[in-house]
Structure 1
Amino acid sequence: MRIRFRALLCGGAGLAVALVLAAAPTEAAEAAPPHFADGFGLTVVSQPAWVDANHRTFTFAVSSDQVPNPTLLPGQTAGQHLIMVTLPAGYDGAAATRYPVLYNLHGNPDRPNTVANLQITEQSTQGVPLITVAPNGVRSWYANWANPGALGPQNWETFHLDQVIPLVDANLKTVATRAGRAIVGHSMGGFGAFHYAEDRPDLFSYVGSLSGGLDLLSQEQRAAVVETELDPASGTPTVAVDSIFGPPTWPLDGAWNAQSPAQHVASLRGMGVAMYVGNGGDLTVDPIQAVIENRARETALVTATNLKAAGIPYDFADYGDGSAWAPGCTGKHAQQPCLQADMDHFIPLIMQRLQHP
């Protein structure tokens, strides 16, 4: 059997939230979603609009001078980055109350505004005084690319950390300090969450990985990154194998080594850390997603070993075939029941540490 390693950190693709979802209305956050002003190198090209009658989640779009020409998945607009925001029930932009923010990074091929991502976020944060922000990431690997070529600048880390975060703080009622921020991601996004937290521990007080591929020293993980660069299903146009982290082979692989989260955990000291992963379950059932999850688990084990050696406390839900983790979870990659259980567990953890009302 020929098994393709579709980005060890690939998230499951889903349909974009474009239709009104059938759900009972809850207390409206506001009659209209917040208005966003330009700033920090971002131009708001589409103002916030509610995604459904719940009036908790809205999407808006920006253009960025740091990533002016992102690669595209079907339904995405050239030159634009869609961002999905979920507000706590009762959010009032005119009130003094401020809320912490969880930044949630998607995998590949995935988008922030899928039905699954919306459902997972709204369920896990129901009744929680927390804002969740899910920015566009396409095949970014949440890095400033080494060799973007004809695409032009692909400075994704700068876009997210130095543009999106201050834009959110300037336009929403946030706790705009480290004490009010956490970051989490699935698959490629798990890599991104750890990478961002390690690079900028001044920004985040908690980090989480949901089936993230955290070890770029793994040749399997490198193959997964390269696969996303070459596969049009991960975004068009495709890019060269050295676009993101440079050449993946020694002695030219310095960027791969330098940006591997598993080996650079020391800066997470003092931060809350959590990892969630299955073992793939029965590898003969849905074998591609099973093997991807199984290999992601290996990168989490390496990270856990390094965290332990550094004396950094962490939570690790290593839930095997998923049978004891959540109904419908069989330990595969990008399974919504598994990810829902992950987030349902992660949100209470971060709320014990984050400053909130």
Structure 2
Amino acid sequence: MMLGVRSMVFPAAAATVMLSAMTGPGDTAAPPPASEAGATPSALVPADDGARIIATDQLDGRTFDLTVSSPALAEKSKVRVLVPKGWSRDATRRWPVVYAYHGGRDTYVSWTRSTDIEEVSARYDVMVVMPESDDGAFTDWWNYGKGGPPKWETFHTAEVLQLMERNYRAGQDRAAMGISSGAYGAMIYAARHPGMFRYVASSSGTLHLTRPGIPLVTLFVQGFLTDSGDPFRVLGVPGVDENNWRAHDPYVLAENLRGTGLYVSSGTTGLPGPADHPEPGQEHSVQVQEVFCGMTSVDFLQRLRELNIPVTAHVYGDGWHNWEMWELEMRRFWPLMMARLGVPQQ
């Protein structure tokens, strides 16, 4: 679930581990922000729990960066929004929405930084919402049974949805897509909130969280990522808090996805694929996190077939855990996702 952090590269002929970031820093050359006309914070409607948009910057004709004061997170967080042609705040209509989640060690700018989502989405009458996920594991943290912040699931599935629908003319025809840990997030949100999304696309996600061995990998990565250094705060202790782990496993909750359009893709070998450009000497290097994602995605697909739940699958073998592969996947599933939302190409 948390495998979108760094590339753990194992040369096939040696046992050396190499770590290299798969996701880069935020935009460094973005145009200077300008305040959006008519969007003063006092004019915006808060979410049920008091979450509110406290700043709005318009980067260009389609792109807005929102700052949200979030009770669920007990801090401020960011959301990037791409609006479609003809959008306006005072429109009488609403727009279908794609919620796009990034992976670990990345930010809310990553989809626009690392893919051509701006150009792709511009051909459709659809809004794209890209919330910050930090390294929050796409769950309301267990905190040894005490709950409390950070509550990333609440931020994404309640606060952000309500703020978009109350202030940005977002509709309830929704899709979710994600890469790496964001792919897990998209799928688990759909499974835990049946009917919230009409379509879900997962690229290189960990979709069988309680598969033997995967909890240990997850704890290792969470310990590496979380500021506290305490991975047990996130989902609890495997075995002891098993019910909480199972309650956040897409494989276990797969039945809840019946009726939702599904796309699942992943590599399985961890070897470089057609979009990758390995350095000399890395032609046979294996990125272990893609192997784990592939194993769990294959498990998940088998579970869907056992339940007779339709899914479009692309298990492609070779391919690293990176944006080059994920952009190719986005181009594959985007038309399917738009068709499910009933949005024709313009």
TM-score when normalising by structure 1: 0.79
Residue-by-residue CA offset, 1:223-281 (whole Å, 9 max, x unaligned): 332123322xx35x234121111102x24422112211122210111110111212322
Cα distance in 1 between the residues matched to 2:316 and 2:290 = 11
Cα distance in 2 between the residues matched to 1:319 and 1:117 = 25
CA contact (8 A) 1:50 1:57 kept: yes
- The answer on 1:39 being equivalent to 2:49 is no
Cα distance in 1 between the residues matched to 2:168 and 2:114 = 19
Task: Quote the residue 1:307 is aligned against.
Answer: 304
Q: Secondary structure at the match of 2:317?
A: coil
Residues 309 and 256 of structure 1, relative CA distance in 2, 3 Å threshold: same
- The answer on 1:170 being equivalent to 2:160 is no
CA contact (8 A) 1:86 1:132 kept: yes
Q: Report which of the two has the higher share of strand.
A: 2
Note the C-alpha offset of 1:95.
3.2
Note the C-alpha offset of 1:150.
11
Residue-by-residue CA offset, 1:289-313 (whole Å, 9 max, x unaligned): 7211121011110000000010100
Q: Of residues 218, 222, 235 in structure 1, which corresponds to 2:215?
A: 222
Residues 265 and 293 of structure 1, relative CA distance in 2, 3 Å threshold: same
Q: Of residues 59, 79, 92 in structure 1, which corresponds to 2:88?
A: 92
Amino acid at match of 1:318: V
Cα distance in 1 between the residues matched to 2:29 and 2:50 = 27
Note the C-alpha offset of 1:31.
7.5
Q: Secondary structure at the match of 1:319?
A: strand
Q: Of residues 277, 299, 304 in structure 1, which corresponds to 2:266?
A: 277
CA contact (8 A) 1:88 1:128 kept: yes
Task: Quote the residue 1:74 is aligned against.
Answer: none
CA contact (8 A) 1:34 1:172 kept: no
Q: Secondary structure at the match of 1:353?
A: helix
Note the C-alpha offset of 1:149.
9.4
Cα distance in 2 between the residues matched to 1:110 and 1:345 = 23
Residues 295 and 342 of structure 1, relative CA distance in 2, 3 Å threshold: same
Task: Quote the residue 2:174 is aligned against.
Answer: 181
Q: Of residues 45, 60, 67 in structure 1, which corresponds to 2:66?
A: 60
Cα distance in 2 between the residues matched to 1:314 and 1:201 = 16
Q: Of residues 272, 275, 290 in structure 2, which corresponds to 1:293?
A: 290
- Which moved further from structure 2: 266-275 or 210-219? 210-219
> What's the C-alpha RMSD, in Å, of the aligned pairs?
2.9
Task: Quote the residue 1:247 is aligned against.
Answer: 237
Amino acid at match of 2:79: I
Amino acid at match of 2:46: G
Residue-by-residue CA offset, 1:21-49 (whole Å, 9 max, x unaligned): 69xxxxxxx98585661411344464221
Task: Quote the residue 1:208 is aligned against.
Answer: 201
What is the percent sequence identity of the aligned residues?
Answer: 27
How many pairs align?
Answer: 316
Residues 139 and 344 of structure 1, relative CA distance in 2, 3 Å threshold: same
Note the C-alpha offset of 1:7.
3.6
- Which moved further from structure 2: 152-161 or 278-287? 278-287
Moved over 6 A (4+): 148-151, 286-289
Task: Quote the residue 2:332 is aligned against.
Answer: 345
CA contact (8 A) 1:275 1:315 kept: yes
Q: Of residues 189, 198, 202 in structure 1, which corresponds to 2:191?
A: 198
Residue-by-residue CA offset, 1:162-186 (whole Å, 9 max, x unaligned): 21101100111222x2xx1011111
Q: Secondary structure at the match of 1:189?
A: helix
- Which moved further from structure 2: 293-302 or 342-351? 342-351
Task: Quote the residue 1:8 is aligned against.
Answer: 3
Note the C-alpha offset of 1:191.
0.9
Residues 94 and 196 of structure 1, relative CA distance in 2, 3 Å threshold: same
Q: Secondary structure at the match of 2:95?
A: coil
Residues 264 and 115 of structure 1, relative CA distance in 2, 3 Å threshold: closer
Amino acid at match of 2:26: A
Residue-by-residue CA offset, 1:118-153 (whole Å, 9 max, x unaligned): 644213313111111111111211111111799952
Task: Quote the residue 1:137 is aligned against.
Answer: 133
Amino acid at match of 1:141: A
Residue-by-residue CA offset, 1:59-118 (whole Å, 9 max, x unaligned): 1111211110xxxxxxxxxx2111111112332333334210011111111111137546
Cα distance in 1 between the residues matched to 2:301 and 2:176 = 18
